[in-house]
Chain A
Amino acid sequence: MLQLTELSIVVLYMLFCVGVGMYYRKRAQENVKNYYSAGGSLGMVVSIVATFAAWSSGGTMIGGASTGYSLGLTFIWSAVFGAVIGYVISARMIAPQIRKYDQINTIVDYFKVRYPQSKFLWGASTVIIALAYALYIASQYKAGGMSVEYTLGIPYEWSLIIIAVVFILYVSMGGMWAVTMTDFIQGLLMLIMSPLLAIVILVYYGGPADLLNAALEVQPNWSQQMLPPVSTIGFMLIWLTMVLCAPHLIIRLFSTRDSNVARSTMIYTGLLFGIFAILTYFTVAAAGKIMFPPDQKLADADLLYFKVLDMHFPPILRGFALAAVLAAVMSTCSALLIACAAAIGNDLLPIIKPGASEKQKVNVGIWTTIIVGVFATIIALDPPKLLVVLFSEATGFMVAGLLFPFILGLWWKGFTGAGAITSLIIGSGGYGFIALLTNLKLVTLPVFSGYLIVLPVAGIAGIIVSLMTKSQAVTHVQSEAQ
């Protein structure tokens, strides 16, 4: 049964997003810099809110609370802590360094400048980014499809298709301009609706201490670690390293006006996300624990957010809260899609077809957006289990490979192309291999613990190979970056 109030709000919101895409169409498609990084001209407030929205996905909004409900609050907060450390490190050690490079729009652009001989690295990192982001987008689709299905009663498959069409339209038309402007509005919507829900829950239960005590009465070990420490630390490390080198966040550093804005964007986004995650995850997960104690556990924990909304919000606020969830889904998906489009159109095309024109790069980006968007829709038709686990695994695979070529490339001029390739293969290949073995049940490892094995091995192997091939170290890059 369709709910008229919620439906009207959601339809208006979707029309608005498409309108923004159409509005920015001409400006975005003028050249590559405009399409992929909004001309490198964004101010601080827009950049902070848009980066927050790109990071805080539907998965983190719905999935964070449901993970806190199922696996304990310290587990999900560990990941938030990791992300916050990542933002602080990124602001201080990455943003000022990366902004020294001119004429680059993406992380693969950076690899081209830093490792000019390593074509394999450029191509392999592009493929890894596209693959990991297709899985990441699929997990976001699930969040969007579920929210529309649950609230409006539209079948999951149709919900998925509607959402996919809307944001493929505005990303492909408006590029990074449309992505950033819709992200800004979407970020504001999330920053208003989620704290409002948290406040309503806190007032209802008589404050944070009473809410926590009531949840602990239902399940006394809920505030403790419910998974092995290696899983908690592995999960935390994935989120930390993801902030350091996730292409959809790095692309934000290039879209800001200058290095100071880039630096402030990362620090304030970290603080904003920390406050948001503490408030939302705690209140929704604790209220869920009280509403659905272990003996009446929800079959699909990812529905928790909507159940809590149903209990605490009237229809009109539910409509806006649903729009906020869709905003979270779309803002992240659009950021991921534009990163994918950049990976193929901006990074891979010039390798396959040297001398490709600006127009061709933009056109390939538009078609990549459409193809990846459709591919992710197909994956999401058979939805995976816990959202947070799926997208954390997908990004773990990507980040394990990209981290050292990116970070060590910035900070150590002796890190060579051969070292970077070794690190990429061992990082992504090793993580993928472990995931395959555990999924086939050939080995049993606690979830996310594989990351703790693969990451140091990838780093050490990259360093050893770099030392063995130090005659290939690129020295001109440093002077270019000054």
Chain B
Amino acid sequence: MSKSDLFILFTALILCIIVFGPWAHGEAGGAFMFHAIWISILVLPALSILLDKIERKEVK
């Protein structure tokens, strides 16, 4: 497992904690979770694609 694999796994874990953490519940947290979740859905694969491209450049 490479460093970037670990970085992505760690990021996914952090995003899960942000999205589903205790602060995501309740009235104010509802709006927070709503926005945190769609941003996370886009950020995680985009970050993975970016790291993949960097890795492949380094290999070349």
Contacts and interface: CB of A to CB of B under 8 A. Distances in A.
Given A93-B5, A224-B30, A81 B48 contact: no
Contacts of B46: 271
Nearest to B40: A81
A86 to B, nearest CB: 10
B11 to A, nearest CB: 9
Contacts, number: 88
Contacts of B5: 92-93
B31 interface: yes
A153 B25 CA distance: 44
B42 A274 contact: yes
A202 to B, nearest CB: 15
A87 B25 contact: no
Nearest to B46: A271
Given A77-B38, A78-B37, A93-B1, A267 B30 contact: no
Interface in B16-34: 16, 19-20, 24-25, 27, 29-31, 33-34
A111 interface: no
Contact of A271 (B12, B19, B29, B45): B45
Given A92-B5, A267-B49, A277 B41 contact: yes
A221 B15 CA distance: 23
A91 interface: yes
A78 B1 CA distance: 27
Interface string A277-291: 110001000000000
Nearest to B4: A92
Interface string A219-249: 0010111000100110010000000000000
B36 to A, nearest CB: 9
A73 interface: yes
Contacts of B20: 78, 229, 232-233, 236
B54 interface: no
A69 to B, nearest CB: 15
Interface residues of A, number: 33
Nearest to B38: A278
Contacts of A85: 12, 15-16, 44
A449 to B, nearest CB: 14
Interface of A: 73-74, 77-78, 80-81, 84-85, 87-89, 91-93, 221, 223-225, 229, 232-233, 236, 263-264, 267-268, 270-271, 274-275, 277-278, 282
Contact of A264 (B8, B19, B34, B52): B52
B42 A278 contact: yes
Given A73-B34, A93-B5, A224-B34, A267 B52 contact: yes
Residue in B33, B38, B52 whose Cβ sees the most chain A Cβ within 10 Å:
B38
Residue in A81, A232, A263, A278 whose Cβ sees the most chain B Cβ within 10 Å:
A81
A88 B44 contact: yes
Contact of B45 (A77, A229, A267, A282): A267
A81 B33 contact: no
A129 B29 CA distance: 39
A224 to B, nearest CB: 3
B14 to A, nearest CB: 12
A236 B33 CA distance: 14
Contacts of A277: 41
Given A74-B34, A81-B40, A264-B52, A224 B45 contact: no
B19 to A, nearest CB: 7
B45 A263 contact: no
Contacts of B9: 89, 92
B21 to A, nearest CB: 10
Contacts of A270: 44-45, 48
A87 B45 contact: yes
Nearest to B26: A224
B25 to A, nearest CB: 6
Given A224-B27, A229-B20, A88 B48 contact: yes
A84 B1 CA distance: 20
Given A81-B15, A271-B49, 9 more contacts: A74-B37, A88-B45, A93-B5, A224-B33, A264-B52, A267-B45, A267-B48, A267-B52, A271-B42
